[in-house]
Copies of this chain bind each other. A is one copy, B any other.
């Protein structure tokens, strides 16, 4: 079965010059993929003609508008019905594509995706999920910023969706789920975390219990559940720290001709280290909980990074993540509603 991915070709800080080359490279790596490139048709076609792209597997879909990176989500939703972002998501809704990828404005993408595709039955609000590297491999962390305040029930939904994503991608059969908190004892944390912990414990998921910030990178669990405020701070703090450490390393190796010589000697090792910690390899966050696959690429990434976001969308479509999540959520809703836990007074 072939997979069709709709690409918001205009999204991101750079737009076409990143998305089109990434799309062409991506096609060359997967013979079972077709792409719909959405945006300024004239510009896209000009770029395709100048390339050696497999044109038989590309369809260009014109969209006259572009959502600005700082545009208010609700205004974009209301006023830009012919934006490349929206038209790309429409392809998923209409069944023309199995997934949409955009490097555009996160808020607008979330609002548009939610409006166009709707959430799955049993899911209150979609979450932003990302596979993040750790000492043992990768783990799924969610929510990374879509939902500032979360109810315990929403945190349970995140746990279910994250576990299903990890399982569907074939990374783990029965993924362990941890709740991000500030202490390993159940008594710690705020009220929402306490109640969410109880729900997760009774959920039938492979629930580990509370985890702390350092557990994200230790790889203690396969899925880290958190509200969007805390998750976003953890993600951005990580980006900032990684950037600082890289800058310090560069500074030390370029301090003098002597340290530059040291760097030269260590170059093969430093290159491997750099490749291993390259954030572009982990680009592509999933908007989970929708009735279709939508992947958000980092707005400032390059063609390599964007290609990894396409890869994420492809893997999710191939493994039918949405079907798996829908099934599991349906099962869990029944669990949560079983008679002996319903208060009847």
Q: A240 touches which one: B188, B215, B248 (CB < 8 A)? A: B215
Q: A269 touches which one: B145, B216, B253 (CB < 8 A)? A: B253
Q: B229 to A213, Cβ gap below 8 A?
A: no
Give the distance to chain B from A170, nearest Cβ to Cβ, in Å.
23
Question: Is the C-beta of A189 less than 8 angstroms from some C-beta in chain B?
Answer: yes
- CB neighbours (8 Å) of A266 from chain B are 253, 262-263, 265-266, 269
Question: Is the C-beta of A75 less than 8 angstroms from some C-beta in chain B?
Answer: no
Question: CA–CA, A245 to B236, complex, Å?
Answer: 16
Q: B235 to A252, Cβ gap below 8 A?
A: no
List the 8 closest pairs (A to B, CB-CB), nearest first. Answer: A213-B236, A214-B240, A213-B237, A217-B240, A265-B265, A266-B266, A182-B232, A217-B244
- CB neighbours (8 Å) of A277 from chain B are 245, 248
Question: Is the C-beta of A331 less than 8 angstroms from some C-beta in chain B?
Answer: no
Question: Is the C-beta of A339 less than 8 angstroms from some C-beta in chain B?
Answer: no
Question: CA–CA, A111 to B326, complex, Å?
Answer: 46
Q: Would you list which residues of chain A between 248 and 278 have a CB under 8 Å from chain B?
A: 248-249, 252-253, 255, 259, 262-263, 265-270, 272-273, 276-277
Q: A265 touches which one: B190, B214, B262 (CB < 8 A)? A: B262
Question: CA–CA, A237 to B141, complex, Å?
Answer: 12
- CB neighbours (8 Å) of A252 from chain B are 269-270, 272-273, 276
Question: Is the C-beta of A195 less than 8 angstroms from some C-beta in chain B?
Answer: no
- CB neighbours (8 Å) of A134 from chain B are 244
Q: B190 to A213, Cβ gap below 8 A?
A: no
Q: B241 to A217, Cβ gap below 8 A?
A: yes
Q: A268 to B262, Cβ gap below 8 A?
A: yes
- CB neighbours (8 Å) of A135 from chain B are 244, 247
Q: Would you list which residues of chain A between 154 and 196 have a CB under 8 Å from chain B?
A: 180, 182, 188-191
Question: Is the C-beta of A330 less than 8 angstroms from some C-beta in chain B?
Answer: no
Q: B237 to A216, Cβ gap below 8 A?
A: yes
